[in-house]
């Protein structure tokens, strides 16, 4: 007699015995008290109470805020803020959670900037207090104004064309899979990976 085809098993192969959904002791106790009237609330046990189960409330990842992880449009992410030189080489790095505004993170980078004549940024950095801080550092802001600005800001368009160097730097960093997809749980480890990628891609 020919054997069964691959992937098909006979009906009696590895049959498992019936597993009750509730413990046998609980079934026996309920059966003995069936004629005693309505059971009390403590005796009405649901089968899910007989084993461990996950909590019903929404869980949150502990320490996510501390590790520079926050919600954004694409989910929980991390932002990398970068200062580059005139030829697009990053030299200052900063990590923030994905929900941190660019204007809020910019002062920490700008306070470490020295000797720059111009500082370029996109519309996300358009804020009067940030422009004032840039001028206090001895630089001139080249940042386009937002469309909802009441007072229009003049823009040096010829200099602003060089801002693509920052975008090019980010595109180069995303060639490193460890940077494009954050595998590191700790913020310091991820920042170290970004710094190593910067050194390999731009400074060696």
Looking up residue 122, the CATH number of its domain turns out to be: 3.30.420
Confidence bin at 64 (pLDDT 50/70/90): confident
- Is 6 within the bounds of a domain? no
Arithmetic mean of pLDDT over the chain: 80
Q: Are strands 118-120 and 70-72 parallel, antiparallel or unpaired?
A: unpaired
pLDDT at residue 48 greater than cutoff 60: no
Confidence bin at 88 (pLDDT 50/70/90): very high
Residue in 86, 89, 141, 88 with CA at minimum distance from that of residue 110: 141
Question: Residues 6 or more apart from 115 whose CB is under 8 A from it?
Answer: 138
Token pair for residue 29? 């106790």
Q: Could you list the beta-strand ranges (E) of the chain.
A: 70-72, 75-84, 90-97, 118-120, 140-142
DSSP assignment, residue 152? -
- Is 139 within the bounds of a domain? yes
pLDDT at residue 36 greater than cutoff 80: no
What's the predicted TM-score (pTM) here?
A: 0.65
pLDDT recorded at residue 28: 65
Are 70 and 97 in contact, with CB atoms under 8 Å apart?
A: yes
- Is 49 within the bounds of a domain? no
Distance between CA atoms of residues 153 and 106, nearest Å: 19
Based on its alpha-carbon atoms, the radius of gyration of the chain, rounded to whole angstroms, reads 31
Range of the domain at 193: 70-203
Three-class DSSP category at 92: strand
- Is 132 within the bounds of a domain? yes
Q: Which residue has the higher pLDDT, 6 or 88?
A: 88
pLDDT recorded at residue 118: 95
- Is 41 within the bounds of a domain? no
pLDDT at residue 62 greater than cutoff 80: no
pLDDT at residue 92 greater than cutoff 60: yes
Confidence bin at 8 (pLDDT 50/70/90): very low
pLDDT at residue 43 greater than cutoff 60: no
Number of domains the chain is built from:
1
- Is 74 within the bounds of a domain? yes
- Is 144 within the bounds of a domain? yes
pLDDT recorded at residue 135: 94
Lowest mean pLDDT among 46-50, 90-94, 110-114, 137-141: 46-50
Neighbours of 178 (CB within 10 A): 14
pLDDT recorded at residue 73: 81
Are 77 and 98 in contact, with CB atoms under 8 Å apart?
A: yes
pLDDT recorded at residue 20: 56
pLDDT recorded at residue 74: 77
- Is 13 within the bounds of a domain? no
Q: Mean per-residue pLDDT for 57-65?
A: 59
Q: Which residue has the higher pLDDT, 16 or 96?
A: 96
* Long-range contacts (CB closer than 8 Å, 24 or more residues apart) made by 163-172: 163/120, 163/121, 163/122, 165/84, 165/86, 165/87, 165/88, 166/82, 166/84, 166/88, 166/120, 168/88, 169/82, 169/84, 169/88, 169/89, 169/90, 169/202, 170/80, 170/82, 172/201, 172/202
């Amino acid at each position: 007699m020919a054997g069964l085809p691959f992937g098909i098993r006979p009906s009696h192969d590895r049959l498992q015995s019936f597993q009750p959904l509730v413990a046998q002791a609980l079934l026996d106790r309920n059966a003995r008290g069936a004629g005693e009237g309505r059971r009390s609330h403590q005796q009405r046990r649901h089968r899910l109470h007989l084993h461990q189960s996950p909590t019903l409330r929404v869980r949150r990842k502990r320490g996510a805020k501390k590790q520079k992880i926050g919600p954004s449009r694409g989910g929980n992410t991390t932002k990398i803020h970068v200062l580059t030189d005139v030829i697009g080489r990053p030299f200052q790095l900063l990590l923030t959670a994905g929900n941190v505004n660019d204007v809020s993170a910019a002062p920490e980078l700008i306070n470490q900037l020295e000797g720059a004549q111009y500082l370029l940024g996109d519309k996300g950095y358009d804020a009067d207090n940030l422009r004032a801080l840039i001028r206090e550092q001895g630089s001139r802001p080249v940042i386009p104004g937002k469309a909802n600005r009441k007072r229009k800001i003049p823009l040096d368009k010829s200099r602003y064309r060089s801002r693509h160097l920052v975008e090019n730097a980010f595109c180069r960093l995303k060639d490193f899979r460890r940077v494009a997809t954050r595998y590191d749980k700790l913020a310091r480890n991820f920042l170290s990976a970004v710094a190593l990628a910067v050194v390999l891609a731009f400074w060696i």
